[in-house]
């Protein structure tokens, strides 16, 4: 039952998600743990909606950026076997909560390791940790000169620590321009993992691959992969898709993208109006009618992630036809030219992202119009909009 109070809504296609998961699991191998990355509100898809759908499709491991996302995922989960892993921000004051709920978290500095030990001792329960190693990205990661101190702390407090993983993250695995840097990181990570093993630190899982590295550098597929953008039906970039097709000619022969977009964004026509030739539409004088035109108003604007830079550039779908934006994109609404689209009525469906008839507005095309990446467009879709599984 749709909530009619909202001006637009998001639909998530479960069948498309199942296809993506099947393809990705076949690719990475059945013995590799699939961790669904749901940071950024599940890349705009909505954590509280996406997690139950993913669990219904058999996913039991989720990666988040921060503790607030972990809490949201935990509340959305209905399976006792589901595990949540925090890759980024968790304050020392929240570590006790993570330990109590058996949520694992990355360690990339000794201060956090000390805090984990302190809270685990106090609670009498082991902290589940992943040592995030600095291999050359120079953002987050435990520096090599800190390894010996970390090992000493791990050995002295082994009763209170479970080393779930050794991990790292690559600096732009989607681009061939970073090839040399990525290969050096892979080399460093292999060396560091061997060193920790020699020191007696046996991690349950070795993991380093995100979507881009798993698809471009198959040797980074280890015990677990952290798949974000690909599970939602998007390639990290065009280059990654082309590289994959070169290595897997069958995909090219079938002329069918194995990844299916699961998100659609829909609204309705709010009002229609006839505007004579030679009149301006909306604020200012950015759009002048060149003939007698029909204009439709749609209750979507830049407050919803449909940016002002789509003024006179953006396109939506109405009645299976492309309707160009006509005039300034406002905070809460936009106007589109429907002159050449017959029989448009108040209440007709408007597709901002997704398919309608034979036409489709992809996130990629939406991104290109805004000069953004897929990631940016997705995460800017308001979290307040209702999501529905279809």
What DSSP string describes 94-130?
GHHHHHHTT-EEEE-SHHHHHHHHHHHHHHTSPEEEE
Q: Is the dihedral of CA 282, 285, 290, 292 positive or negative?
A: positive
Q: How many residues does this entry show for the chain?
A: 390
List the binding residues.
139, 331
Q: Name beta bridge partners: 288.
A: 280
Q: Is the pLDDT of residue 83 over 70?
A: yes
Residues 42 and 143 in one domain: yes
- Is residue 381 assigned to a domain? no
Residues 246 and 133 in one domain: yes
The CA-based diameter of the chain, rounded to the nearest angstrom, is: 81
Q: Is the pLDDT of residue 323 over 90?
A: yes
Which one of the listed residues 184, 246, 283, 346 is annotated catalytic? 283
Residues 220 and 89 in one domain: yes
Residues 352 and 289 in one domain: yes
Residues 165 and 284 in one domain: no
The string of pLDDT tens digits covering residues 89-107 is: 999 999 999 999 999 999 9
- Percentage of residues of the chain with pLDDT beyond 90: 88
The two tokens of residue 132 are 């995030």
DSSP E strands in 151-223: the ranges are 161-167, 205-209
Q: Are 41 and 385 in contact (CB under 8 A)?
A: no
Which one of the listed residues 27, 39, 49, 268 is annotated catalytic? 39
pLDDT at residue 238, as a whole number: 86
Distance CA 239, CA 256 (A): 17
Domain containing 65 equals: 14-254
- Helix, strand, coil: what percent of the chain each, to 5? 40, 25, 35
Residues 110 and 185 in one domain: yes
List the binding residues for substrate.
139, 331
Does the pTM of the predicted model rise above 0.85? yes
Indicate the pLDDT class of residue 369, thresholds 50, 70 and 90. Answer: low
The number of domains in the chain is: 2
State the helix-helix crossing angle for 147-156 and 110-123, rounded to 10 degrees.
Answer: 10
Q: Name beta bridge partners: 66.
A: 89
Active site residue 287: no
Indicate the pLDDT class of residue 375, thresholds 50, 70 and 90. Answer: confident
Q: Name beta bridge partners: 111.
A: none
Active site residue 283: yes
Indicate the pLDDT class of residue 368, thresholds 50, 70 and 90. Answer: low
């Amino acid at each position: 039952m749709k909530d009619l109070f909202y001006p637009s809504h998001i639909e998530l296609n479960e069948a498309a998600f199942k296809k993506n998961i099947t393809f990705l699991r076949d690719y990475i191998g059945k013995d590799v743990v699939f961790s669904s990355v749901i940071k950024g509100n599940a890349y705009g898809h909505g954590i509280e909606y996406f997690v139950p759908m993913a669990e219904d499709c058999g996913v039991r491991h989720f990666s988040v950026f921060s503790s607030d996302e972990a809490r949201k995922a935990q509340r959305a989960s209905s399976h006792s076997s589901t595990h949540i892993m925090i890759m980024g921000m968790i304050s020392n004051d929240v570590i006790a909560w993570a330990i109590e709920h058996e949520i694992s978290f990355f360690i990339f500095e000794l201060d956090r390791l000390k805090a984990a030990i302190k809270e685990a001792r106090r609670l009498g329960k082991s902290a589940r940790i992943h040592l995030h190693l600095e291999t050359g990205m120079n953002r987050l990661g435990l520096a090599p000169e800190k390894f010996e101190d970390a090992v000493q702390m791990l050995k002295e407090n082994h009763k209170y620590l479970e080393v779930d993983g050794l991990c790292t993250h690559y600096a732009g695995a989607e681009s061939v321009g970073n090839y040399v840097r990525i290969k050096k990181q892979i080399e460093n990570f292999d060396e560091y993992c061997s060193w920790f093993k020699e020191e007696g630190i046996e991690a349950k899982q070795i993991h380093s691959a995100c979507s881009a590295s798993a698809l471009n550098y198959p040797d980074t597929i280890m015990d677990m992969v952290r798949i974000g953008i690909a599970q939602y039906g998007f390639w990290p970039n065009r280059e990654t898709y082309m590289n994959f097709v070169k290595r897997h000619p069958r995909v090219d022969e079938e002329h069918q993208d194995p990844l299916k977009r699961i998100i659609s964004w829909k609204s309705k026509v709010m009002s229609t109006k006839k505007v004579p030739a030679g009149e301006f539409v909306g604020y200012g004088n950015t759009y002048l009618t060149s003939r007698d035109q029909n204009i439709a108003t749609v209750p979507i604007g830049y407050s919803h992630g449909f940016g002002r830079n789509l003024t006179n550039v953006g396109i939506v779908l109405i009645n299976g036809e492309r309707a160009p934006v006509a005039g300034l994109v406002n905070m809460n609404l936009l106007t589109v030219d429907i002159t050449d689209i017959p029989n448009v009525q108040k209440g007709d469906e408007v597709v901002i992202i997704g398919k309608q008839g034979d036409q489709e507005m992809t996130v990629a095309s939406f991104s290109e119009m805004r000069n953004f990446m897929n990631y940016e467009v997705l995460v800017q879709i308001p979290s307040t909009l209702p999501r529905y599984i279809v």
